[in-house]
Structure 1
Amino acid sequence: MNVLAIDTSNQTMAVAVIDQQKVLGQIQTTVNKNHSQTLMPAIETLMASIGITPKELERIVVAQGPGSYTGLRIGVTTAKTLADTLNIELVGVSSLKTVAANCTGRKEWIVPLFDARRQNVYAGAYEWQSQELVNVIPDQHISLNDLLEQLKERDVYFVGEDVHKFQEEIQQALPTAICNTELSWDYPNGVILAELGSKEKNGVSIHPFLPRYLKRVEAEEKWLETHDLKEESYVEKI
């Protein structure tokens, strides 16, 4: 199965194509250039360089979130358009899980973490169980303090390019926690994303497929404040 994977959920842009257990090619950049301008040229360049035509693709895998609102919209929209146009399967994978999956061989709970500003983070916890990466704390938008409280009494391994921003707070709250030092593990990898997505038995319905923001956009929060609506009256988009 030829699988194209796309991740523009954060600053990194990762694109890869695999065929079963064989890596056909990948492109990755970590310098934030406009994903809306660079994603499709990167896909076209990669496909041409490995001699694969769009009609030979059988599945599109996309990082579904959480992450940058703009980045998620670009990646998900591109993936949906390609899957619909080519009439092939679409699969979404957690952006956090993609980073956690880098951390092979770790026995601790793996906690991928993205900065969500104002001392909040996007985070979840994952654990290798029988060579499968299992989500043991759901992905969520949460204050850093609340996250650290949930992780007390656990062996924890933090990973992600934003971890260094919170390293002091992490070490104070969880003195035995380990913060990743393997440079490549902090960034999403297109090949790993493709592998995760290829393990899913079935694709999703394309048209209702949406990014998993896990948090309201700022304009929605301001609107709620202005209209004095209660939290429970709002149905959060996921």
Structure 2
Amino acid sequence: MKILAVDTASQSCSVGIINDNTVTAEITSSSRQTHSRHLMDMIDSALKMSGFKIKDIDGFAVTRGPGSFTGLRIGISTVKGLALASGRPVAGVSNLKVLASHFYHSPYLICIMIDARKGEVYCAKYRFEKGLLIEQGREQVLSPEKAVSGIDEQCIFSGNGSEIYKTIISDNLKDKAFFAPAHTNIIRASDVAVTALPRLKNGDYDNLAGFSPSYVRKADAEPSSKTCFNLSLP
């Protein structure tokens, strides 16, 4: 199954294409420009690199949040446009779950923290059980102190929030806290695609009409204008 995946939930922007579990193309950028300025060019480039055209893609995957409100809207609206134009299904996946998937078969509790600003983090905990990534509670936005409260076992921390609040985590958990390498804190679109693959294969699609970002925290303000994209398909 050929899946084109997009992540625009944070400062980094990533586009990837997989054919079942094989990555055929991937582009990741950390430009400070708004993702709307280069996302479609990245999609075009990834398609050319893979040798596929939009008509060859069987489904789309996109990070649904939590993360940057503007970034999430850009990624989801772009993928919804491509899905409507091509008639292909879409599966949204959690940014936090994608980051947790990096630690396949880890025996430890996994805590993902993404910076939510205002002294808070988007947080969720996971555990691998018999090869399956199982959520240990719901996604939340809370202070880093509250995020680590109640953890009384060895735990892997990942996500840019764990970097920012590393001192707080270490002070609270001491030698029970392990920190993932910095490169694992970046969401790669190929991982988004692999995470969404079981859903798309099983026909578990998102309804485009009702598919919207998962902000976790209420948006402070809605944008005054909508972002428009040129969705010309190769």
Same fold by TM-score greater than 0.5: yes
User: What amino acid does structure 2 have at the position aligned with 1:73?
Assistant: R
1:188 aligns with 2:190: no
Give the Cα–Cα distance (whole angstroms) in 1 for the partners of residues 121 and 21 of structure 2: 34
Contact 1:90–1:206 under 8 Å retained in 2: yes
Residue type of the partner of 2:214? R
Q: What amino acid is aligned across from residue 204 of structure 1 in structure 2?
A: D
Residues 160-175 of structure 1: matches in 2 within 5 Å?
A: 160-175=159-174
CA RMSD after TM alignment: 1.4
- Structure 2 residue aligned with 1:20: 20
3-state SS of paired residue (2:145): helix
One-letter amino acid of the structure 1 residue matched with residue 60 of structure 2: I
Instruction: Indicate if the aligned counterparts of 1:16 and 1:194 stay in contact, CA closer than 8 A.
Output: yes
Q: Does 1:218 align with 2:217?
A: no
The 8 Å contact of residues 64 and 210 in structure 1, kept in 2 or not, is answered as yes
Residues of 1 paired with 2:106 and 2:59: CA distance? 30
C-alpha contact (below 8 Å) 1:47/1:53 kept by paired residues: yes
The percentage of counterpart residues that share the same residue type is 26
Would the aligned equivalents of 2:104 and 2:131 in 1 still touch at CA under 8 Å?
no
Unaligned runs of 5+ in 1: 221-238
- Counterpart CA distance in 2 for 1:134 and 1:121 is 20
- Distance (whole Å) between structure 2 residues aligned to residue 141 and residue 88 of structure 1: 33
Partner of 1:226: none
TM alignment of 1:33-44, pairs within 5 A: 33-44=33-44
TM-score if structure 2 supplies the norm length? Answer: 0.89
Figure out how many residues of one structure are paired with residues of the other and give that number: 219
Divergent runs of 4+, >6 A: none
Comparing 161-170 with 75-84, which one deviates more in the overlay? Answer: 161-170
The residue aligned with 2:53 is: 53
| Secondary structure class of the residue paired with 1:217 | coil
1:207 has 2:206 as partner: no
